[in-house]
Structure formats: C-alpha cells, structure tokens
C-alpha cells in the first residue's frame, strides 16, 4: 500500500510540470490515416511459420511507423479477429501492429519464437503489404519495436524481453496474467514477486477494474477470475525497474477491449466479469487505444512531454480510471520527460 501511495504522489507531482498538449493530437479519436488489416497464412506466405494478422496505415503520403508485436489472450492462441476494432484505432495514428498466433502453447511461452516473426517482418512484411495493395507511403521502422500482450500474452511479451532487448523501445501490457493458466497448475512464471526483472524498459500496464472478479456466478473456488490479483496487473508493474505507468479502467472487465461479438460471448458464458450495460465498450476501446498511442508517441519522442497528460490525468480519459506512475529505479537522475533505451543484464536489477 505504501508503494502505491508513493506512486500516486509521484503522478500528482508530475502533472503539475506537464504543459498543455497541442489540440492537433487527440489519442482518443481516430488518427489521420485509413488502415488496412491483412492476415497472412504460413503455408502460402514466403518464409512465414505462424499465422499472422497485421494492421497498418494505408496511405500514399510517406509515414514511418513503429511496430507493435502483440501476443493475444491465452498466451498468444487468440486470433486477430478479436481485436479488429481496437487495433484499427491504433493503426490510424501511424502505428503498425503485427499479431502472430503461437503454435506451441507451452514450449513457446518463453517468447523467443517472436524473433522468427520479427525476422520475417523485416525481410518480407513490406513486400507482402504492397502486394496486398497498401498505400505506397508506408515505411516500416524495424528499429522501433514495442512488445505488447493481453492476458497471458503479457507473460509472453515479458519472457521475450527477459532474453534480450533487441530493438524494443517499450512494453505495453493489457490486463497481463502471469503463468500458463489462472489455476496455477502449470508453474511457468515470468515474474518472481519481490524481484525486479533483468530488463529495464519503459512500461505501460493497462488494467481493468473487474479483472479480479469471477465471471461464473456461484462457482466459488472452482473457477478463478480471469486475472487473479496475485497473478496479474500489479505483479507486472511492481517487477518493472524502469519508469512505468499503471492505468486502471475501474468499471471494465478482462475482455471488454475485444470486438463486440467476442465480448458478448464472454458475457453470455460468464467466462470473465464484464462491465454492466451502463458502460460503453467503445469508450473503453478508445481509452485503451489512446493509452497505447500516447505511450508510443512519447517513448519515441514523436510528441513532446505534454502528451503524458493523457497517461496521467484521469479527467482527460474517456472512462473512469485511476493512475499510478513510478520513476526509474536504476537511474535516479532520470526525469519523467526523458526518453530512455531498453537495458538488459543477466541478473535481475536490484532494489536500491
């Protein structure tokens, strides 16, 4: 509780130092670019070993885009169809998203398989998108990468970074869940509670307030929540040694960021807790997209420090939310407005 209080205090102090943001940038509305979604099949696409979904800006005007490599729910087993609405919003701001599906649910949890997908992306993706008819202005920046995961896909993203930074500039975790399953039956964990990770990278944790609420009524201890408190969200935030933001959308559930058909299915089956009917899922998707876009634009220096108000001021967000921020634990001289690179070492960073 003391750490959380200190984090909130840090946020409040920072907000007083952030100047006004230009009205030209509004992360909670669609950006200036039309977008294309394309899926690529491994058996008919050169050099590809995974089923891959891609969202990218579709423009004739030159735009250099950073790339998000995303691991979906169930540790990367969920297809891109679930995230169409959300990722089209992100791509409209000049960001490309690549979502491969995992082939081996257990063996691939270390995340190193992402290197094969990244190598394919650097070698083939621009040509494949051009063949699909995307506008000639798209320029893929393969040296500005972000690792992102949803649910147990957050475990995959973190495990990848534990092996090396590569060209990663930041990590974004949507309701991340550690381990292979919420029951904890298979002890595969990315994080050791009480320890920092061995990678220091700017991080954004996007929690849902109902993550820890069981979706199946009356199930008691038989069916756990989709993101139990001890396995999710704060567990990841506490493990990050570099500057990190934690934004909790208070009244939304674990799958409310998905397209309506899939979110409705979760509600119908009671698989996870969901927002009540008074809460608009479209507002939540705008919120998540805005958080992702603001974090990337700031981390790459594409927007100045004023963009942080979208990450740190709940009054600007489309949904009710609480916010925490913690500064770097490895460089006390680093201020919130300072961009920083990913740092990796063999052993966990110590608590100083």
- Domain-located, residue 75: yes
- Domain-located, residue 351: no
Determine how many CB atoms are found less than 10 A away from the CB of residue 316: 16
User: Which pLDDT value is given to residue 185?
Assistant: 64
In angstroms, how far is CA 167 from the centroid of its own chain?
16
Cβ proximity of 312 and 170 under 8 Å: no
User: Which pLDDT value is given to residue 247?
Assistant: 98
pLDDT digits (tens, 9 = 90+) for 88-129: 999 999 999 999 987 666 667 778 889 999 999 999 999 999
Instruction: Please choose, from the candidates 341, 336, 273, 331, the residue with its C-alpha nearest in 3D space to the C-alpha of residue 306.
Output: 336
Query: Can you give the three-state secondary structure of 143-161, one letter per residue?
Result: EEEEEEEECCHHHHHHHHH
User: Which pLDDT value is given to residue 8?
Assistant: 39
The CA R_g of the chain, rounded to the nearest whole Å, is 19
Look up the domain containing 236 and give its range. 2-17+27-344
- Total number of domains constituting the chain: 1
- Name the token pair of 52: 């891959």
- Domain-located, residue 244: yes
- Domain-located, residue 232: yes
User: Which pLDDT value is given to residue 4?
Assistant: 36
297 Cβ contact list (under 8 Å, min separation 6): 25, 27, 93, 303, 307
Which portions of the chain are predicted below pLDDT 50? 1-21, 218-220
User: Which pLDDT value is given to residue 259?
Assistant: 86
Q: Say which DSSP state 122 is in.
A: I
In angstroms, rounded to a whole number, what is the distance separating the alpha carbons of residues 101 and 240? 26
Encode burial over 91-103: b for 16+ CB neighbours within 10 A, e otherwise. bbbbbbbbbbbbe
User: Which pLDDT value is given to residue 184?
Assistant: 63
**Residue 22 burial (C-beta neighbours within 10 Å; 0-12, 13-18, 19+):** exposed
- Domain-located, residue 349: no
User: Which pLDDT value is given to residue 299?
Assistant: 96
Q: What is the CATH number of the domain that holds 50?
A: 3.40.50.1820
Q: Where are the alpha helices (DSSP H) in the chain?
A: 2-15, 73-76, 84-91, 114-120, 126-131, 153-163, 234-239, 260-269, 281-299, 309-312
User: Which pLDDT value is given to residue 18?
Assistant: 38
Q: What is the pTM of this model?
A: 0.90
């Amino acid at each position: 509780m003391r750490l959380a209080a200190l984090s909130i205090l840090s946020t409040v102090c920072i907000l007083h130092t952030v100047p006004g943001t230009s009205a030209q940038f509004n992360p909670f509305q669609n950006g200036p670019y039309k977008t294309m979604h394309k899926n690529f099949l491994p058996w008919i696409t050169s050099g590809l070993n995974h089923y891959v979904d891609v969202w990218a800006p579709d423009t004739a005007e030159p735009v250099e885009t950073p790339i998000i490599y995303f691991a979906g729910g169930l540790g990367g087993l969920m297809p891109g169809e679930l995230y169409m609405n959300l990722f089209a919003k992100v791509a409209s701001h000049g960001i490309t998203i690549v979502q491969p599906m995992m082939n081996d649910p257990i063996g691939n949890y270390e995340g190193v398989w992402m290197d094969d997908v990244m190598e394919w992306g650097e070698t083939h993706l621009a040509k494949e998108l051009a063949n699909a008819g995307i506008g000639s202005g798209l320029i893929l920046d393969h040296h500005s990468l972000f690792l992102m995961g949803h649910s147990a896909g957050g475990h995959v993203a973190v495990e990848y970074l534990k092996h090396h930074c590569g060209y990663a500039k930041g990590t974004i975790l949507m309701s991340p869940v550690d381990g292979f399953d919420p029951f904890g039956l298979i002890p595969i964990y990315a994080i050791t509670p009480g320890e920092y990770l061995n990678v220091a990278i700017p991080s954004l944790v996007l929690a849902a307030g109902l993550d820890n609420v069981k979706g199946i009524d009356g199930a008691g201890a038989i069916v756990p929540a989709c993101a139990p408190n001890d396995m999710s969200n704060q567990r990841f935030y506490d493990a990050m040694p570099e500057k990190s933001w934690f934004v909790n959308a208070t009244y939304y559930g674990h799958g409310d960021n998905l397209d309506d058909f899939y979110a409705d299915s979760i509600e119908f089956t009671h698989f996870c807790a969901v927002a009540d009917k008074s809460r608009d899922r479209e507002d939540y998707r705008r919120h998540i997209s805005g958080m992702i876009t603001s974090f990337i634009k700031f981390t790459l220096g594409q927007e100045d420090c004023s963009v942080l108000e979208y990450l740190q001021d709940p009054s600007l967000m489309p949904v009710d939310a609480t916010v925490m921020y913690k500064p770097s634990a490895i460089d006390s001289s680093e201020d919130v407005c300072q961009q920083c690179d990913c740092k990796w070492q063999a052993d966990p960073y110590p608590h100083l």
